[in-house]
Amino acid sequence: MTALADLREGLRFDPAVTTAFEACRMAQLDLALEDPRVMSVEADLGDCWGLKFREEMPDRFLDFGIAEASAVGAAAGLAMSGKRPFLNTFGTFALMRAAEQVRLDICYHRAPVVIAGMFTGIAAGFSGPTHHAIEDVSVARSLPNLTVIAPADAVQAYDATKAAFALGAPVYLRLGVEPGPQVYDAHEPFEIGRGRVLREGGSLTIVTCGVTIVPEVLKAASLLGDARVVDMPTIKPIDRDLLVRCARETGRVVTVEEHSTIGGLGSAVAEVLAEDAPVPLRMVGLPDAFVKEIGDYGEQLRRHGLDAAGIEREVRAWLS
Amino acid sequence: MVNDLSAKARTLREHIVHLAADSPGAHVGGSMSAVEILTTLYFDGVLRVDPANPDDPQRDRLIFSKGHSSAAYYAALAEAGFFPVSELDTYKKSGSRLAGHPHTGIPGVELATGSLGHGLPVGVGLAMADSDVRVFVIVGDGECQEGSIWEAAMAAAHYRLDNLVVIVDRNGIQEDGPTEEIMALEPFADKWRAFGWATVEVDGHDIGELSNVLHEVPLTWGRPTCVIAKTVKGKGLSFSENTNTWHYGHLSEDLKAQALRELGGVR
Confidence category of residue B216, pLDDT binned at 50, 70, 90: very high
CA distance B162 to B15: 34
Q: Which CATH superfamily is domain A4-174 in?
A: Thiamin diphosphate (ThDP)-binding fold, Pyr/PP domains (3.40.50.970)
pLDDT band at residue A186, thresholds of 50, 70 and 90? confident
ipTM value, please give it: 0.94
Measured between CA atoms, how close is A111 to chain B, in angstroms? 11
C-beta contacts of A65-68 below 8 A and 24+ residues apart: A65/B154, A65/B155, A65/B158, A67/A43, A67/B151, A67/B154, A67/B155, A68/A43, A68/A93, A68/A94, A68/A97, A68/A98, A68/A101
CB atoms within 10 A of CB A149: 27
Q: Which residues of B touch A76 (CB under 8 A)?
A: 121-122, 125
Helices then strands, counting H and E runs in chain B, come out as 10, 7
Give A196-319's CATH code, choosing from 3.40.50.720, 1.20.1440.130, 3.40.50.620, 3.40.50.920.
Answer: 3.40.50.920
What are the b/e assignments for B124-155, b being 16+ CB within 10 Å? Answer: bbbbbbbeebbbbbbbbbbbbbbebbbbbbbb
- Rounded Cα distance between A274 and A280, Å, is 10
First to last CA, chain B: 23
Name chain B contacts of A58, Cβ cutoff 8 Å: none
DSSP state of A129: G
Please compute the mean of the pLDDT values over residues B160-165 and round it to a whole number. Answer: 98
- Mean pLDDT for the stretch of residues B58-71: 97
pLDDT at A10 over 60: no
B199 pLDDT above the threshold of 60: yes
> What does the alpha-carbon distance between residue B239 and residue A272 come to, in Å, rounded to a whole number?
57
What value does the mean pLDDT of chain A take?
93
Please, what is the average pLDDT of chain B? 96
Give the SS3 label for residue A156.
Answer: helix
Instruction: Answer whether B122 sits within 8 Å of A80, measured CB to CB.
Output: yes
State the CB neighbour count (10 A cutoff) for residue A282: 18
Answer yes or no: are the C-beta atoms of A81 and B130 closer than 8 Å: yes
Q: Is it true that A4-174 and A196-319 share their CATH fold?
A: yes
Domains defined along chain B, listed by start? 2-263 (3.40.50.970)
Q: Mean pLDDT throughout A69-91?
A: 97
* Per-residue pLDDT at A8 exceeds 60: no
With both helix axes pointing from N to C terminus, report the angle between B119-129 and A68-80 in degrees, rounded to the nearest 10.
Answer: 50
Strand order in the sheet with B164-170: B61-64, B135-140, B164-170, B225-230, B198-203
Q: Is the pLDDT of residue A124 over 70?
A: yes
Distance CA A213, CA A224 (A): 16
A80 contacts on B by Cβ (under 8 Å): 110-111, 122, 125-126, 129
How much is the pLDDT for A127? 85
pLDDT over 80 at A173, yes or no: yes
Q: Do A101 and B130 touch (CB under 8 A)?
A: no
Instruction: Please state, in angstroms and rounded to a whole number, the distance separating the CA atoms of residues A114 and A58.
Output: 19
Contacts within 8 Å (CB) and 24+ apart, A297-301? A297/A122, A297/A123, A297/A125, A297/A178, A297/A212, A299/A125, A300/A122, A300/A123, A300/A125, A301/A122, A301/A212, A301/A216, A301/A258
Whether residues A101 and B127 touch (CB distance < 8 A) is answered with: no
Q: B115, A104: Cβ pair inside 8 Å?
A: yes
pLDDT tens digits along A58-76: 999 999 999 999 999 999 9
Closest CA to A69 of B161, B117, B143, B66: B117
Interface contact A80-B126, CB threshold 8 A: yes
Name the minimum distance, in Å, from the CA of A81 to any CA of chain B: 6
> What value does the mean pLDDT take over residues A24-53?
94
CA dihedral over B191, B197, B203, B205, signed as positive or negative? negative
* Distance between CA atoms of residues A224 and A80, nearest Å: 50
Candidates B175, B159, B167; CA nearest to B125 is B159
Q: Which of A62, A71, A105 is facing B118, going by the closest CB pair?
A: A105
A246 pLDDT exceeds 60? yes
B123 contact residues in A (CB cutoff 8 A): 77
pLDDT at A234 (0 to 100): 98
Nearest to A105 among B122, B128, B159 (CB): B122
What are the extents of the domains in chain A? 4-174, 196-319
Q: Which of A65, A73, A100 sits opposite B125 (nearest CB)?
A: A73
Q: Decide if pLDDT at B101 tops 50.
A: yes
Interface contacts (A, B; CB < 8 Å):
90
